[in-house]
Amino acid sequence: DGTDTEEIDAYLSKKDTETSSDVKGAAKGKNLILISLESTQQFVIGKEIGGKEVTPFLNDLIKESFYFPNFYHQTAQGKTSDAEFIIDNSLYPLSGGSVFVRRPDNEFYALPEILKEKGYYAASFHGNDREFWNREVMYKTLGYDRYFSKRDFNVTEQNSVNYGLKDIPFFQQSVPYLEELPQPFYAKFLTLTNHFPFLLNDEDKYIPEAETEEGVVNRYFTTVRYTDEALKQFFADLKEKGLYENSIFVLYGDHYGISKSYSEALGNVLNEEINPSRHVAMQKVPLIIHVPGMEGKKIDTVGGQIDLRPTILSLLGVDPEYNTLSFGTSLFAKDREERVIFRDGSFVTDKYVYTENTCYDKKTDEKVKRNKCTPYFSEVQKELGYSDKVILGDLLRFTGKK
Ligand code: GP9
Ligand code: MN
């Protein structure tokens, strides 16, 4: 009810660090192109397999982009849909199921709705069936004007693999649609090829597979490499069509691709032993924000998907008052609290990692006394609890700006 809203508002207002950013409004009025990189974890960046780069295009793009090497996914059972939900709403996912499936009738005040107030058009692109993750319904709730899904693309047996349309034809076929959108637009692209169990036709393998005892781990790097190629072609197409200069690009990994059960094989490829603290580090996903014309910069701040909406709004120069009931803070803000909270109550700070009821030193990954982590406990629980209240109590009915 209203009391909850006030209490949560009061808590969240203490987080606002917007004023200290120096890129605020740097991309005002530009198109926003968001690219969700299916199952892409940060360890592929700069990595080589058989002497070949796994992400040659991204490695180059990073040099001319804001790059956040300490950025984590925060998804739970809703996987891709959780990532979409977190980013558009700056709320945590639920601990069970997907908000897309469980709460499509809620009132939200999501990124598409916010940007539409600034004259934007919002569309999502994805080569799978439109009902998957209840997107067809939830996208309307979140304010998307148009969903380009499988039925909008030419999908054949030849140009698909695993869940659907391969990433290269997906981007190729999307460009003509993108050209027709009213500008400025917010366009979201969900890649698909790098999905478990990472299947690929031979002609799409640009690098050899890794050599461990787990096929899943071995194939993972080749499918990531394929998506990298798709991105390269997409950027080239956008430049040719004149859509590049007027746009900013936000590329992020949606969640892990290699689950805990493959830790041993993954550890072999990465030359390390993956203890619980390192397993948390494996939840880092790439975050690349590319603003044509702006110089590249590595930003080390610890953050997560929940911080993306305020980060994007800041860059686009949208007044923070539109960032209603937001649990994140702009990654560009200099005085932000460095912390990321996971759905299961694990968390990472600038110094510590807390997971499986154990506190670790982040630098050494060694166990440390529990009392190093206890000061964060109540805040972590409070934050997850408040976010749940917003979703389960449908609190944006009372507070969303319309
Ligand atoms: C399917 C795509 C992948 O449409 O979102 O689903 P995931 O299993 O990663 O949530
Ligand atoms: Mn996914």
- How do residues 233-261 score in pLDDT, each as one tens digit? 999 999 999 999 999 999 999 999 999 99
What does the pLDDT read at residue 15?
Answer: 82
At residue 399 the predicted structure's pLDDT band, cuts being 50, 70 and 90, is confident
Ligand 1 atom at shortest distance from the alpha carbon of 39: 9
Q: What is the pLDDT of residues 140-160, one digit of tens each?
A: 999 999 999 999 999 999 999
Dig out the tokens for 186 from the structure.
Answer: 């917010």
Least confident of 6-10, 204-208, 215-219, 346-350: 6-10
- What average pLDDT does range 70-77 have in this prediction? 98
What does the pLDDT read at residue 16?
Answer: 67
Which of the ligands is closest to the CA of residue 73? 2
Distance (angstroms) between ligand 1 centre and the Cα of 314 equals 29
Ligand 1 atom at shortest distance from the alpha carbon of 126: 4
Instruction: Assess contact for 222 and 206: CB atoms under 8 A.
Output: yes
Distance (angstroms) between ligand 1 centre and the Cα of 112 equals 21
Q: What is the dihedral of CA 26, 31, 32, 38, to 10 degrees?
A: -140
Least confident of 10-19, 112-121, 191-200: 10-19
pLDDT at 358 over 70: yes
> Residues annotated in the binding site for substrate, as ranges?
195
Instruction: State the catalytic residue, choosing from 5, 17, 55, 80.
Output: 80
* Cα maximum dimension of the chain: 59
At residue 123 the predicted structure's pLDDT band, cuts being 50, 70 and 90, is very high
Distance (angstroms) between ligand 2 centre and the Cα of 370 equals 34
79, 129, 148, best to mutate for ligand 1 pocket (most atoms within 8 Å of CB): 79
Q: Which is more confident, 113 or 324?
A: 113
Distance (angstroms) between ligand 1 centre and the Cα of 242 equals 31
Indicate the pTM of the whole model. 0.97
- What average pLDDT does range 360-366 have in this prediction? 98
User: Of 41, 141, 127, which Cα lies nearest the Cα of 85?
Assistant: 141
* Residue minimizing CA distance to atom 6 of ligand 1: 80
- d(C-alpha 222, C-alpha 207), whole Å: 6
pLDDT at 20 over 80: no
**Cβ neighbours for 280, distance < 8 A, ≥ 6 positions apart:** 342, 346, 348, 353, 355
Compute the mean pLDDT over every residue in the chain, rounded to the nearest whole number. 96
State percent of the chain over pLDDT 70.
98
What does the pLDDT read at residue 402?
Answer: 45
- Classify strands 287-290 and 247-253 as parallel, antiparallel or unpaired: antiparallel
Task: Please say if 141 is a catalytic residue.
Answer: no
Give residue ranges with CB within 6 A of ligand 1: 79-80, 128, 132-133, 163, 190, 192, 195
Count CB atoms within 10 A of the CB of residue 8: 22
